[in-house]
Structure 1
């Protein structure tokens, strides 16, 4: 039975490349046509594959519906939380998880620092879009026209002397973030608070959430916090792998 399941599943990557006829499926599986036909008929009955009028087979609508339903039911917070706790235990600093929803970037999880000085942030609270590291990651992944439209309609408060001054500067920073795959906020929102962040990616490599480590200068300097970046990125990659069920690579990027 396991061999039958393995063969059936091997058909799906072939059909993902485009429609294929019975002979092509049999050759890919290295089985007789009658065996390939039995597998295709079973998958067809369940809507996983569809037989076209030209007798070639393609992936069926039921497969896409199941994939969509599964993605909608994934809870990135639930998947990420153990990883955030582990990172917090290792470094001691505040760890955040954020998502982009309805033109806002919101914190959806937070693990508090072990140090007496605490962050004022809270779950459900919007972040400062033009300076927050998690916001930069989430906005940098938007398609170029949407990214530009968002940047041009934002206000640019001068929280500190390091705050992003205008749309042109913001778009330039988003291009850098998009290219390097990580972001920082080094005193852009509060002079005394620094942050490093990394993206969490979904099945197609798009950024579905962002996580960060933040700490005040009285606890750790900006340079010392930046030494945690490799670990932050590894944590984000581990969350991404759990989220999609396997290691992934970044999506193909459009031109910034």
Structure 2
């Protein structure tokens, strides 16, 4: 680790003990005040520290937000994983779990298909946001102004003839997904791959993650895959209940 990064990170546990002024930070790090100020300004620019009116520094709200996002992502993955495994065993197809982080949707868990034809997706890899079923569910849950603003900032690659062509079409599909509570990608990213997905919701009803079943059309036809949607939705609902602490379904 570089000395600069090491020093910057050393400031965070110091401020976790309470607000500190520039001199205290410099003394704790064993550096000149100008060096401490440069590090604090960098952390401040990223929202990780905040300068109070009394010129002392404390931990910034962005740090707490990042910690909360990390905890939620880890929790939902831990809770969902056994359900994903059982869904994979029942269907035989690839099962994914995804969350939204900043401007991306990322896979955070995956259960491989039992068939020899495998998908190239990897945990930690962003999805094709304009076509992926999991992305549609996560974005459809955004408030309408935020959803519109987000959609209008995106590029719309023509992965296949079935790819979403533009923001207007994307917003229309997101409205449909929001109303029906599930999503599909039928050859939008790869012509040979189809996918059905359902949302995982927190205690407040907001979508915290999305799970999907994907398969090549050489293994299972579109209609057969769509027939799995009730099972996918029941699985997502079970994860939602466990994640939000709701009582089991009767």
Q: TM-score, normalised by structure 2?
A: 0.70
Aligned pair 1:190/2:226, yes or no?
no
1:220-231 → structure 2 map (5 Å cutoff):
220-231=220-231
Q: How far apart, CA to CA, are the structure 2 residues paired with 1:224 and 1:150?
A: 33
Partner of 1:243: 243
* Matched residue SS, 2:179: helix
Partner of 1:142: 142
Q: CA deviation at 1:139?
A: 0.2
1:49-60 → structure 2 map (5 Å cutoff):
none
1:71-82 → structure 2 map (5 Å cutoff):
72=71, 75-82=75-82
* Matched residue SS, 1:197: strand
CA deviation string 1:38-92 (max 9, x = no partner) = xxxxxxxxxxxxxxxxxxxxxxxxxxxxxx98x9466100000000000000000
Q: How far apart, CA to CA, are the structure 1 residues paired with 2:186 and 2:223?
A: 10
1:1-256 → structure 2 map (5 Å cutoff):
72=71, 75-246=75-246
Q: How far apart, CA to CA, are the structure 1 residues paired with 2:106 and 2:169?
A: 23
* Matched residue SS, 1:107: strand
Moved over 3 A (4+): 71-74
Count of residues in correspondence between the two structures: 181
Q: Please list every run of 5 or more consecutive structure 2 residues that lacks an aligned counterpart in the other structure.
A: 1-66
Contact 1:106 1:125 in 2 (8 A): yes
Q: CA deviation at 1:245?
A: 1.1
CA deviation string 1:98-128 (max 9, x = no partner) = 0000110000000000000000000000000
- Change over 3 Å in CA distance of 1:226–1:247 after alignment to 2: farther
Partner of 1:36: none
Contact 1:108 1:124 in 2 (8 A): yes
Contact 1:140 1:174 in 2 (8 A): yes
CA deviation string 1:138-188 (max 9, x = no partner) = 000001111001100000000000000000000000000000000000000
Q: How far apart, CA to CA, are the structure 2 residues paired with 1:124 and 1:223?
A: 30
Q: CA deviation at 1:247?
A: 5.1
* Matched residue SS, 1:79: helix
Q: How far apart, CA to CA, are the structure 2 residues paired with 1:148 and 1:180?
A: 19
* Matched residue SS, 2:145: helix
Measured on the aligned residues, the alpha-carbon RMSD in Å equals: 1.9
* Matched residue SS, 2:96: strand
Q: CA deviation at 1:201?
A: 0.0
